[in-house]
Structure 1
Amino acid sequence: MTSIVIAQTTVNDEDKAYGLARAAVEARLAAGAHVDARMTTFYWWKDAVQHEREYRVSFKTTEEKAAELEAWVHANHPYEVPQWILLPAVRASEEFLAWVVQETTAR
């Protein structure tokens, strides 16, 4: 049975965030994507705590498309080690699931 997942990454540039979101939808790797408002992120990198202003991009896709989307995001992402988190949708309406499946199917 097909299920929906939400895949997330972050990027420090608003235009790049919009570009990743739009291009993934155009490529039918995600049925939709949203870019969250700018946030501040703290993390370890190269033996020091860093902080960055970032935008989170959340992609709505199917579990079957997730690996393809992940490979695409990693190939198009500006970071050396991009965040990649996959969250299962515990419940989704049948109508929404049908829409996600339809929009991530090649035409």
Structure 2
Amino acid sequence: MTDLLLIRITCPSQRVAEDIGDAAVEHKLAACANLEGPVSSTYRWKGVVEQAFEYILWLKAPKANWDRIEALVLTHHPYDVPAMVALPCLEAHDPYAAWVHENTEV
């Protein structure tokens, strides 16, 4: 198992996703940010079923940076409860994992 995370964050707009991704990479919290979308989301919020188009931001980062990334997201994200989850990377191509570490600061 590696110490890398794939962090998935839903964002209300492309601009919000880009701003968070850019900040995470610029501050060396994540080595890479990818943006997907828009995607259609259906969810329950305060007892009401809602639908919206959102963007998915993926960050690749060492697990040790989770707390700092979470703080960054909470500072820049407009949702009261951002959907932010991390998936562990069980395996990673060794040169790629090395590149992630070279481009982040723990």
TM tier, smaller: over 0.9
Structure 2 unaligned runs (5+)? none
Task: Point out the structure with the larger strand share.
Answer: 2
Q: CA deviation at 1:88?
A: 0.3
Residue 21 (1) aligns with residue 21 (2):
yes
Identity of counterpart residues, as a percentage?
32
Give distance in 2, aligned partners of 1:11 and 1:84: 10
Structure 1 unaligned runs (5+)? none
Q: CA deviation at 1:40?
A: 0.5
User: Which residue of structure 1 aligns with residue 90 of structure 2?
Assistant: 90
- Larger mean CA deviation between 12-21 and 23-32 belongs to 12-21
User: Which residue of structure 2 aligns with residue 43 of structure 1?
Assistant: 43
One-letter amino acid of the counterpart of residue 79, structure 1: Y
Alignment length (residue pairs): 106
Contact 2:10 2:83 in 1 (8 A): yes
Q: CA deviation at 1:102?
A: 1.1
Q: Runs in 1 of length 4+ with deviation above 4 angstroms?
A: none
One-letter amino acid of the counterpart of residue 69, structure 1: I
User: RMSD value over aligned CA atoms?
Assistant: 1.4
SS of structure 2 residue aligned to 1:64: helix
User: Which residue of structure 1 aligns with residue 9 of structure 2?
Assistant: 9
Contact 1:2 1:63 in 2 (8 A): no
Q: CA deviation at 1:22?
A: 1.1
